[in-house]
Amino acid sequence: QVQLVDTGGGRVQAGGSLRLSCAASGRTLTTYPMGWFRQAPGKEREFVAALSRSGDSTDYRESVKGRFTISRGNAKNTVRLEMNSLKPEDTAVYYCAARGRPTYGSTYYTDAREYDYWGQGTQVTVSS
């Protein structure tokens, strides 16, 4: 069994920065393709960023390109989301996700249905 814990949310002023972290725990010794999604009140969960298992492929939704960076953490099975120049429109609950099914090392996923494990979510609030 794999459990994901995502942390690092908080309240910041517009233009500020936050760094979210996600750690996978369990008996697995492998890494996984990872993703970040977010959901604002009254809206559907939407893709934010993705990272392949190998770490050599990434993707971002257009509105966060140049501001957000997804990367592997130093610890095994961890992933970070560095968020800079935050805007009020970034306000949402952010969820990390991991795909446990077999995949090519360079493959990443932007569809939530492709992921198998999810964090509990961490609130990001950006005030104007």
pLDDT digits (tens, 9 = 90+) for 87-123: 999 999 999 999 988 777 889 999 999 999 999 999 9
Question: What pLDDT does residue 27 have?
Answer: 57
State the average pLDDT over residues 38-56. 93
Assign 88 to helix, strand or coil. helix
Q: What is the pLDDT of residue 26?
A: 73
Dist. CA 41–CA 56, nearest whole Å: 33
As a whole number, mean pLDDT of residues 10-39 equals 88
Q: What is the pLDDT of residues 75-90, one digit of tens each?
A: 767 899 999 999 999 9
For residues 35, 56, 64, 98, the Cα torsion angle rounded to the nearest 10 degrees is 0
Res. 30 pLDDT band, cuts 50 70 90: low
| Pairwise CA distance, residues 59 & 46, whole Å | 13
Predicted confidence at residue 126, as pLDDT, reads: 98
Percent pLDDT > 70 in the chain is 96
111: number of Cβ within 10 Å: 9
